[in-house]
Amino acid sequence: MYKNRNVWIILSGEFLAGIGLWMSIIANLEFMQRHIPSDFMKSLVLFIGLLAGVLIGPLAGKVIDKHKKKTVLMYAGAGRLVSVCFMFLALYFDSVGWMVVFAVTLQMSAAFYFPALQSAIPLAVPEKDLLAMNGVHMNVGTIARILGTAIGGIMLGVMSLYGLYMASFAAYILLLASTWFLNVKEHEAVGGKRTDGAAGKPQYQGFKAIVPLLRERPALINILWLTIVPTLFIGGFNLMVIEISEKLADPQIKSWIYTVEGFSFILAGLAVKKLASGRNIGTMLYVFAVIIALGQLSLTFTSNHWVPLVAFGVFGFGAGVFFPLISTAFQTQIPKEYHGRFFSFRTMLERVMFQLVLLSTGLFLDTIGLTNMVLLFGGASLLLIGILYVREQAGHSRKTAEVTDSL
């Protein structure tokens, strides 16, 4: 796999995109702190950007499936550069309005970039290497997150916001340059429609084709529902870290939590292929969803300093295995001609769920407290896992009975 040039191009692109994104996030937080006193208004600015990404999702899916993935990635990369230009205007005019434009254009570019990238990975590596590629890809993104935030924090202390956004702009230029060298085999579009490359029959039916596609694959619907479990943890991640730090009166524990979670995530990404070898991916997803839920439930005992570290470490390892498995399941079980629309659909769902969990976490921390909240979320996760598992087993039993009757 590592002798494949496309693999290195995709991984370097993910690294550069992550570095640029997290440096700009650090700069965004600083800009909002200076110009937006209200926490609600800050969240509203972020929400508007994410909402724009959700609304453009159906169009992004159509475009990705009707055009070459490399072309979409190039235009999305160019869109990132344009978005940073709007932030330069925001800095020049001290304008929150221009920052909103920046957030909207950046999220719209991301709505095209990430589903196109997920669609390009199965074209770049053989199916036997997909799980390893997804694990390494997520590790590179995690490393970029750690380095991007660290570099952004250091640069913020020695230079202006202009310099920080210029560094982000430079990272996006390098991303665009690396994407140019990507070379994956794709079927040509005929009359604006994808063909299957064999019978030459049109495969493109629009974004609504995702619904009957999923109905034919009920196991994938269960997996989509299963993604709620890690989202219940990730959506309130930062708020929970802040709450734990305040509860323990220990500001330094925040950095330790992020460090432990990050290294656990990386370790899982390195181990995922070996852990999944010879095992059923669907079963493993349920197992690691349970591990994630138990990690969240363990946060009920945060009075001890070591408990949050263990809990976030367990979550990091569980999520580090869960996400490569789920990406591999989708990439292998969804036909390639539907990848753009499906991954856009998945991105839309994740963004909506993330926002709902974020708002719910803030509300519950203010009303019922951290302990009751993690009991509620963890219990709900275990209940959901149980329902989905029983439903899936019932479906298998029905299929077995139908086959037996037909014989």
**Which DSSP letter does residue 279 get?**
S
The 3-class secondary structure across 321-365, one letter per residue, is HHHHHHHHHHHHHCCHHHHHHHHHHHHHHHHHHHHHHHHHHHHHH
- What three-state secondary structure class fits 189? strand
Among 55, 81, 188, 66, smallest CA distance to 116 is for: 66
pTM of the model: 0.73
Sequence spans of domains, the chain: 1-182, 218-333+368-407
Q: Which residues, given as ranges, of the chain have pLDDT below 50?
A: 188-204
pLDDT tens per residue, range 116-155? 888 888 888 888 888 888 888 878 887 887 788 778 778 8
pLDDT tens per residue, range 159-202? 888 998 999 999 899 989 988 988 877 754 433 444 444 444 44
Among 120, 91, 116, 80, smallest CA distance to 30 is for: 91
Structure token digits, residue 43: 């969240």
**CATH fold of 1-182:** Growth Hormone; Chain: A; (1.20.1250)
Helix (H) or strand (E) segment spanning residue 252 = none
How far apart (Å, rounded) are the C-alpha atoms in residues 5 and 186? Answer: 16
Structure token digits, residue 303: 């009075």
Distances (CA, A) of 33 to 30, 102, 297, 358: 5, 16, 33, 19
**Residue 189 forms beta bridges with which residues?**
194
Structure token digits, residue 53: 């990404």
- pLDDT at residue number 201: 42
- What three-state secondary structure class fits 194? strand
**Which DSSP letter does residue 159 get?**
S
How far apart (Å, rounded) are the C-alpha atoms in residues 132 and 248? Answer: 39
How far apart (Å, rounded) are the C-alpha atoms in residues 199 and 253? Answer: 59
| Phi, psi (degrees; rounded to nearest 5) at 204 | -85, 125
How far apart (Å, rounded) are the C-alpha atoms in residues 401 and 290? Answer: 29
- What three-state secondary structure class fits 192? coil
Region for residue 123 given its phi and psi (left: phi exceeds 0; alpha: psi -120 to 50; beta: otherwise)? alpha
pLDDT tens per residue, range 19-56? 888 788 778 878 887 888 775 677 677 778 888 888 89
Give residue 194's identity as a one-letter amino acid code.
R
- What three-state secondary structure class fits 173? helix
CA 195 to chain centre: 29
- pLDDT at residue number 10: 87
Alpha-helical regions (H) of 36-129: 39-55, 57-66, 69-93, 96-124
To 10 degrees, the CA torsion angle through 57, 63, 66, 69?
-100
- pLDDT at residue number 92: 92
Distances (CA, A) of 335 to 130, 151, 233, 390: 15, 40, 30, 27
Total Cβ atoms within 10 A of residue 82: 14
- pLDDT at residue number 407: 53
How far apart (Å, rounded) are the C-alpha atoms in residues 128 and 297? Answer: 35
Among 396, 401, 122, smallest CA distance to 280 is for: 396
